[in-house]
Amino acid sequence: MTTDTATLPRRRRVDFKDFGILGGLLAIVVYLSLSTTTFLTSQNIVNLLDQAVVIGLLAVGATLCIVSGVFDLSSSATLAVSAIAGVFLTTQFGVVVGFILALAVGAILGTITGTMIVITRVNSFIGSLAISIIYRGVAIVLTGGAILSVTSDQLDAFRVWALPVLDGVSGGTILFAVTAVVLGLVLWGTTFGRRVYAVGGNEEAARLSGVRTPLIHISVFAINGVCAAAAGMVLASRAGSAQPSLGIGMELTAIAAVVIGGTSILGGAGAVWRTVVGVIILTVIGNGFNLLRWDTTYQQVVTGVLILVAVAADSWLSRRSRRSRG
């Protein structure tokens, strides 16, 4: 059966979630602008963008997974293994080749994760969690638990993603921006993107329409692996080294940003640009706590409340949508 892309569901137009997430960000920005004298300074804005890079790269990759109806909890472990491989390969072949091969490692690990999930048919949440433990073990085996560093003569070039390259903006920020734009366009304006939405919205209907659902799931895991590898190289670039514990727990923060951005945890709805807004909201909240000298313990409470509100709103809107169709 051939795929009739015209039968695949279209993406949602601007809706309540769009205005809600942008309004929430605007409210936080206005409050911090009035409460501090440093929030809107150029240096603080540059710092905010730089702080958003790693979680942002993980989150935009996770968006494609969640929209397609799967979760990938192995992304931070993929980040660590890719960064370790990238540092080692940099010492052997140079900075440019090392970075490219690190992305290739991330793609391979993501493909392995997706293939294992598809073949075993286990729940992606549990399956990717198990695979993340395996990848962390691989990272320890590769390094013996030690820190792996680039050579001193390579350090300046290797830190390209950590250093300012354009009006104080770091290379990592530019990498994040380009990645977000590319994946946003892929999800929004391509046949592949429509198939991702279709699989997440109703996998069985998509399969009957001719969509190769296993291939879509493997593809989004592979893309997420590349994003995780890029995030790992940014972290390694900042430190000039990589280690097995790199990025632990970051996948949960990335998923939180995706959910806060309005992507449905049930799949079939979401957008990369909204994820970017979610990432910025989390980053601005953390920055605000520092500028206002508030106890950062409460930052976790605020983040948790935001996630709960986002999930509850998504559930309510989904029920309302089903009732209106019925």
Q: If you write DSSP's letter for every residue of 133-174 in order, what string do you get? A: HHHHHHHHHHHTT--EE--GGGHHHHGGGTSEEETTEEHHHH
Stretches in the chain below the pLDDT threshold 70: 1-19, 314-326
What is the pLDDT at residue 3?
45
- Which candidate, 21, 4, 117, 2, places its Cα nearest to that of 69? 117
Residue 315's pLDDT is what?
67
For 282-311, letters b (16+ CB in 10 Å) and e give bbbbbbbbebeeeeeeebeeebeebbeebe
Cα separation of the two ends of the chain: 29
The pLDDT score that the predictor gives to residue 105 is 96
Q: What are phi and psi of 170, to 5 degrees?
A: -75, 160
Answer yes or no: are the C-beta atoms of 133 and 251 closer than 8 Å: no
DSSP string, 71-82: --TTHHHHHHHH
φ, ψ of residue 164 in degrees (nearest 5): -65, 135
Q: Cα(226)–Cα(219) distance, rounded to whole angstroms?
A: 11
Count of Cβ atoms closer than 10 Å to residue 249 Cβ? 8
Quote the pLDDT of residue 51: 92
Taking alpha carbons only, the member of 194, 186, 184 closest to residue 8 is: 194
Query: What is residue 91's predicted lDDT score, i.e. its pLDDT?
Result: 93
Q: Residue 112, Cα to own-chain centre: how many angstroms?
A: 18
| pLDDT computed for residue 15 by the predictor | 54
Domains assigned to the chain: 5-317 (1.10.3470)
Amino acid at 35: S
Give this prediction's pTM. 0.89
